């Protein structure tokens, strides 16, 4: 990542260190990951899917904008389009979270990331 991740044209690289899986749904007997980024269903030891990654991506997006790790949208004042996107990404119900393809089509991303 460049020195200032908020600077236009900055490159951000996300990576996984060996805890990703391919099945459509899975569970863990042990929880792996960074606490503040883990989706609620993982903490509850429930089946989870790629939608758990959408939750984590929402937390990462908040961090990239505010430099604060949080899933609490009440703590910030975002634009209407960004707030709508984050609210969907951070839904407590995984079925309500958008797919990555839907996220990429979102108005805020189209207007702000080029």
Domain map (residue ranges) of the chain: 35-112
In eight-state DSSP terms, residue 85 is H
**Residue range 76-90: average pLDDT?**
94
Residue indicated by tokens 């908020």: 6
| pTM, two decimal places | 0.74
d(CA 17, CA 9): 26
The pLDDT > 90 percentage for the chain reads: 43
- Residue 49 CB neighbours (<10 A): 17
What pLDDT does 54 receive? 94
Residue 23, token pair as written in the block: 């099945």
3-state secondary structure of 78: coil
- Residue 58 CB neighbours (<10 A): 24
Q: Which CATH number fits domain 35-112: 1.10.940.10, 2.60.40.3080, 1.10.510.10, 3.90.1260.10?
A: 1.10.510.10
CA 44, 94, 36, 42: dihedral to nearest 10 degrees?
30
Q: What is the pLDDT of residues 8-59, one digit of tens each?
A: 666 666 655 445 555 555 555 555 667 788 899 888 878 888 899 999 999 9
d(CA 67, CA 107): 22
Is 12 in contact with 6 (CB distance < 8 Å)?
no
């Amino acid at each position: 990542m460049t020195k200032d991740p908020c600077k236009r044209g900055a490159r951000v690289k996300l990576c996984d260190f060996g805890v990703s899986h391919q099945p459509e749904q899975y569970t863990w007997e042990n929880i792996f990951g960074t606490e503040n980024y883990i989706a609620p269903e993982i903490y509850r030891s429930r089946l989870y899917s790629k939608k758990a990654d959408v939750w984590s991506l929402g937390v990462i997006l908040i961090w990239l904008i505010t430099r604060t790790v949080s899933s609490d949208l009440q703590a910030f004042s975002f634009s209407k389009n960004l707030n709508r996107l984050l609210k969907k990404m951070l839904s407590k119900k995984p079925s309500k979270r958008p797919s990555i393809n839907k996220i990429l089509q979102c108005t805020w991303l189209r207007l702000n990331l080029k």
